[in-house]
């Protein structure tokens, strides 16, 4: 398969901001970073919808405060993952969502959802993939004794943090680090990397052949 941009913007509306849905489950510091980013008048994307599967997620307060459209779709209200995902899909379709951003969303998406949004769901994981997938990535990195960890923004596939890597950012692990210190150091990087990647996707600078990703700004970012 040839490389193609993740999002193909409608040629009739090239200047309309890309419509993004942010899925959350908890604190929402990444959501806040994206909210702050979209407040800049030049943003090529807008947060058209926030969905939480947890009704008490602090992220929802951030969405409300920012005047965003938000919705709770609780997995507990549905018998199966397919039924839950069907509701997520319905909400995204109704809001004409182009890109789905997982920002601390603690559920796995089904094949049915991913089929509809193939290569248009991205996640931020707090490790340098393919190392330390799944839960407690920072704790895993500390236990492994690695000197560097970081964060990865990747395309979401059916696996756990196994989708094609779009971009990464590294942090050193210091000798007296504990899990909390590492979580915070990595999150500061996530907040920068996620918005950079989403802007790049909106501008057609991220393409994939279904297996790997080409990111036009890769070398510029690495050598900055
Ligand atoms: C982030 O560390 C992200 O890497 C992981 O979940 C955490 C969410 O944090 N997927 P927040 O809710 O954005 O503060």
The number of the ligand 1 atom at minimal distance from the alpha carbon of 27 is: 12
Active site includes 27? no
Output the furthest CA–CA distance in the chain (Å, rounded). 55
User: What does the pLDDT read at residue 40?
Assistant: 84
Reduced to 3 states (helix: H, G, I; strand: E, B; else coil), residue 94 is: helix
As a whole number of angstroms, the distance between CA 75 and CA 57 comes to: 14
The pLDDT, as a whole number, for residue 1 is 83
List strand residue ranges (DSSP E) for the chain, in order. Answer: 4-5, 18-24, 45-52, 70-72, 99-102, 121-125, 148-155, 165-172, 206-208, 213-215
Global confidence as pTM: 0.96
| Cross-strand pairs, 148 | 172
For 130, residues 6+ apart whose C-beta sits below 8 A from its C-beta are 161, 162
Nearest-angstrom CA–CA distance, 148 and 140 = 12
DSSP secondary structure string for all residues of 41-92? TT-SEEEEEEEESSTT-HHHHHHHHTT--EEE--GGGSSSHHHHHHHHHHHH
Catalytic site residue from 27, 65, 75, 125: 125
Give the nearest ligand 1 atom to 59 CA.
12
Q: Which residues line ligand 1 (CB under 6 A)?
A: 26-30, 103-104, 124-126, 187, 190
User: Across the strands, what pairs with 24?
Assistant: 52
> Beta 4-5 vs 45-52: how paired, if at all?
unpaired
How far apart CA 80 and CA 145 sit, in angstroms, is 39
CA-to-CA separations, 47 to 50, 51, 84, 201, in angstroms, rounded: 7, 11, 22, 14
In this predicted structure, what is the pLDDT of residue 45?
Answer: 96
Task: Give, for all 224 residues of the chain, the pLDDT tens digit.
Answer: 899 999 877 655 667 899 999 999 999 999 999 999 999 878 999 999 999 999 999 999 999 999 999 999 999 999 999 999 999 999 999 999 999 999 999 999 999 999 999 999 999 999 999 999 999 999 999 999 999 999 999 999 999 999 999 999 999 999 999 999 999 999 999 999 999 999 999 999 999 999 999 999 999 999 98
Other beta carbons within 10 angstroms of residue 96's beta carbon come to 10
Nearest to 18, CA basis, from 48, 42, 39, 41: 48
Give the distance (Å) from ligand 1 centre to CA of residue 34.
Answer: 13
Tell me how far the alpha carbon of residue 59 lies from the centroid of ligand 1, in angstroms.
Answer: 11
């Amino acid at each position: 398969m040839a490389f193609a941009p993740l999002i193909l913007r409608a040629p009739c509306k090239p200047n309309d901001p890309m419509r993004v849905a942010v899925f959350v489950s908890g604190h929402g510091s990444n959501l806040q970073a994206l909210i702050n980013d979209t407040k800049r008048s030049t943003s090529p994307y807008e947060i058209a919808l926030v969905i939480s599967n947890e009704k008490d997620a602090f992220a929802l307060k951030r969405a409300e405060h920012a005047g965003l459209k938000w919705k709770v779709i609780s997995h507990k209200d549905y018998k199966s993952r397919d039924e839950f995902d069907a509701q997520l899909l319905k909400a995204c379709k109704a809001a004409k969502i182009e890109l789905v951003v997982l920002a601390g969303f603690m559920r796995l998406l089904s094949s049915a959802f991913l089929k509809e949004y193939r290569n248009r769901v991205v996640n931020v994981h707090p490790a340098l993939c393919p190392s330390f997938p799944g839960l407690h990535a920072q704790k895993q990195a500390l236990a492994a004794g690695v000197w560097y960890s970081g964060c990865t923004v990747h395309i979401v596939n059916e696996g756990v943090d196994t989708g094609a890597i779009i971009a990464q950012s590294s942090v050193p692990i210091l000798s007296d680090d504990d899990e909390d210190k590492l979580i915070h150091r990595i999150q500061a990087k996530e907040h920068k990397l996620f918005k950079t990647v989403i802007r790049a996707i909106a501008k057609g600078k991220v393409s994939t052949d279904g297996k790997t990703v080409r990111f036009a700004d890769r070398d510029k970012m690495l050598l900055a």
